[in-house]
Chain A
Amino acid sequence: MLEITNLHATVADKPILNGVTLDVPAGEVHAIMGPNGSGKSTLAYVLAGRPGYAVSEGGTTFDGRDLLAMAPHERAAAGLFLGFQYPVEIPGVSYLQFLRESLNSQRRSRGEDELSAGDFIKLAREQAKLLGMDAEMLKRPVNVGFSGGEKKRAEMVQMGILAPKFALLDETDSGLDIDALKAVGEGINRIMRAPDKGGLLITHYERLLEYVRPDRVHVLQAGRITRSGDIDLARELENTGYAEAAA
């Protein structure tokens, strides 16, 4: 589904990714762990198409299409969703308007009918409820005045509404209390666990993985995958740390 091959990328001319190769087949959720500065967020941004993140070598296909040739909104319409480590505030634009326009823009580019205002609100309320978020919050400007935990929950509500094929979640678990962590874990399982879907979770902690149970765990260090394994690898890292694991 998502095939990353020998991906090299630079940010402000500084090499950050130095040959990442990773294949996430449909029906699987993988996790990437790694120390600070190893390139995890850069990988997420490169895959989502953030300006300023330049690919210098290698490539990535998504469902057989050249992902890196697409603009960010085309990647979204193709089914890629990035859960932001630091969700962005947009003053003056309500969550409902933001998500309705986003979803309908995706649907239009896929040749699907737009959702009516009524149907959209129903969908949004449903997803907010499933993730334990007060639906009234969706009337507020995007992420403005939201706590760190609320922003992360709201990212999951967005994922539920947009229903992507593939979720790329950049430290969605950081800054969450135990209940929110559980809600996010269950949300990922409910929304992304399907034979035709996939996910890549970037995380520092093993805790979220106990809820999501990734099919594979990879360690990213110095811009490269240095180890891969099952969830036991995550547990081992939790005990030993990255320095020892690399040795």
Chain B
Amino acid sequence: MAAPFPTRKQEEWRYADLDALRPVWEQFAEPRTLTIGAGESFEDVWLPTADDVHVRRVQIALEPGAKTRLFVLNTAPVYGRIELDVSLDEGSEFDLFGANIGTGLSTNEIVTVVKHIGVGGRSRQTIRSVLNGKATGSYLGRVEVARGAQQTDADQSVKAMLLDRGATANCKPELEIFADDVKCAHGATVGELDAMQLFYAESRGLDPVSARALLLEGFVMGLWDGIENAAQHESIATAAKDALRRVV
């Protein structure tokens, strides 16, 4: 039987567009599961689809020494949700590079729970959101460090750029730590395009729209630098540029 439909009282669904989710819930109710075997490496690039509502719910188990890197572009026209539940066993590494790019009335969110259950795991989450109109972009990320998961190194860097007054960014990095020898860093900022940077670019000959687009590319495109597969890099970079052009 499918899992019960979520409610806003659940923290991890607090900013979700449940009305948009309801008609498609059946197909997403059960998260996909993925196990990365001991010492294996896995890299994947998740592109948006043409659907108005696009949800991915994935549980990932990293066995000792496994490595996973995910690159995610979340830019659904109505509701996009990337939900990850990741567990890291001893010495494993998890990197997430994600962008929410939203326009109009859309809601795009990245919701993660990263559980460090073994010694010496490392996780990095880097999230950038660019929002205009009345769009909402959220990152809710909980890092849990289990008792005994010493030498855990966890980092969350979350930045959002609001292009219009009506846009909303929710940035909520959370830590729950039950070990005493760990390094857990998190930072969150919400801002707008810098007027001096815009003037500098315009003074060099870029029209205002191109100048804005260039600054936004600078804000987002670095996320994809680490993608090893050139074709995948190209496809997510192109999709991100297209999405930025829609919000600029």
A interface residue numbers (CB < 8 A to B): 48-51, 71-73, 75-77, 81-82, 84, 87-93, 97-99, 101-103, 105-106, 109, 141, 158, 162
Q: Given the interface contacts A51-B195, A71-B208, A73-B208, does A92 sit within 8 Å of B203 by beta carbon?
A: no
Distance between Cα atoms of A12 and B168 in the complex (Å): 30
The answer to whether A92 and B206 touch across the interface, beta carbons within 8 angstroms, is no
The answer to whether A90 and B201 touch across the interface, beta carbons within 8 angstroms, is yes
Beyond A50-B199, A98-B214, 11 additional contacts (C-beta under 8 Å) are: A49-B202, A49-B203, A73-B202, A73-B203, A73-B204, A75-B203, A84-B203, A90-B218, A98-B204, A101-B214, A162-B204
Residues of A within 8 A of B205 (CB): 73, 76-77, 102-103, 105-106, 109, 162
Distance between Cα atoms of A93 and B214 in the complex (Å): 7
Distance between Cα atoms of A103 and B200 in the complex (Å): 14
Q: B58 CB to closest chain A CB, in angstroms?
A: 28
B186-204: CB near A (< 8 Å → 1, else 0) gives 0000000001110111111
Tell which of A50, A90, A99 touches B197, judged by Cβ atoms closer than 8 Å: A90
Residues of A within 8 A of B207 (CB): 71, 73, 105
B221 in the interface, Cβ–Cβ < 8 Å?
A: yes
The answer to whether B208 and A99 touch across the interface, beta carbons within 8 angstroms, is no
Q: Given the interface contacts A91-B218, A92-B218, A98-B214, does A51 sit within 8 Å of B200 by beta carbon?
A: no
Distance between Cα atoms of A49 and B208 in the complex (Å): 13
The answer to whether A99 and B222 touch across the interface, beta carbons within 8 angstroms, is no
B217 in the interface, Cβ–Cβ < 8 Å?
A: yes
Q: B42 CB to closest chain A CB, in angstroms?
A: 27
Residues of A within 8 A of B204 (CB): 73, 76, 98-99, 102, 158, 162
The answer to whether B202 and A93 touch across the interface, beta carbons within 8 angstroms, is no
Which residue among A77, A88, A90, A106 has the maximum number of chain B CB atoms within 10 Å of its CB?
Answer: A90
The answer to whether B206 and A105 touch across the interface, beta carbons within 8 angstroms, is yes
B interface residue numbers (CB < 8 A to A): 195-197, 199-208, 210-211, 214-215, 217-222
The answer to whether B202 and A72 touch across the interface, beta carbons within 8 angstroms, is yes
Tell which of B197, B208, B219 touches A88, judged by Cβ atoms closer than 8 Å: B197
Which residue of chain A has the shortest Cβ distance to B200 in the bound complex?
A88
Residues of A within 8 A of B197 (CB): 88-90
Which residue among B199, B204, B206, B220 has the maximum number of chain A CB atoms within 10 Å of its CB?
Answer: B204
Distance between Cα atoms of A81 and B204 in the complex (Å): 7
Which residue of chain B has the shortest Cβ distance to A77 in the bound complex?
B205
Q: A76 CB to closest chain B CB, in angstroms?
A: 4
Residues of A within 8 A of B208 (CB): 71, 73
The answer to whether B217 and A76 touch across the interface, beta carbons within 8 angstroms, is no
Distance between Cα atoms of A72 and B123 in the complex (Å): 44
Q: A104 CB to closest chain B CB, in angstroms?
A: 9
The answer to whether B203 and A141 touch across the interface, beta carbons within 8 angstroms, is no
Q: B190 CB to closest chain A CB, in angstroms?
A: 16
The answer to whether A105 and B210 touch across the interface, beta carbons within 8 angstroms, is yes
Distance between Cα atoms of A88 and B193 in the complex (Å): 13
Tell which of B196, B201, B220, B221 touches A98, judged by Cβ atoms closer than 8 Å: B201
The answer to whether A141 and B218 touch across the interface, beta carbons within 8 angstroms, is yes
Residues of A within 8 A of B218 (CB): 90-93, 141
The answer to whether B203 and A72 touch across the interface, beta carbons within 8 angstroms, is yes
Residues of B within 8 A of A109 (CB): 205
The answer to whether B200 and A101 touch across the interface, beta carbons within 8 angstroms, is no
The answer to whether A71 and B201 touch across the interface, beta carbons within 8 angstroms, is no
9 nearest A-B residue pairs (beta carbon) = A92-B218, A102-B204, A106-B205, A93-B218, A76-B205, A88-B200, A72-B202, A102-B205, A73-B202
Name 9 A/B residue pairs within 8 A (Cβ), A-sorted: A50-B199, A73-B204, A87-B200, A88-B199, A90-B215, A90-B218, A91-B219, A93-B218, A102-B204
Residues of A within 8 A of B222 (CB): 92
The answer to whether A101 and B206 touch across the interface, beta carbons within 8 angstroms, is yes
Residues of B within 8 A of A97 (CB): 214
Tell which of B195, B203, B219 touches A76, judged by Cβ atoms closer than 8 Å: B203
Residues of B within 8 A of A158 (CB): 204
Residues of A within 8 A of B200 (CB): 84, 87-88, 90
Distance between Cα atoms of A116 and B197 in the complex (Å): 26
Which residue among B196, B203, B207 has the maximum number of chain A CB atoms within 10 Å of its CB?
Answer: B203
Residues of B within 8 A of A141 (CB): 218
Distance between Cα atoms of A158 and B203 in the complex (Å): 11
Which residue of chain A has the shortest Cβ distance to B202 in the bound complex?
A72
The answer to whether B202 and A88 touch across the interface, beta carbons within 8 angstroms, is no
Distance between Cα atoms of A47 and B219 in the complex (Å): 29
Q: A53 CB to closest chain B CB, in angstroms?
A: 10
The answer to whether A92 and B202 touch across the interface, beta carbons within 8 angstroms, is no
The answer to whether B221 and A102 touch across the interface, beta carbons within 8 angstroms, is no
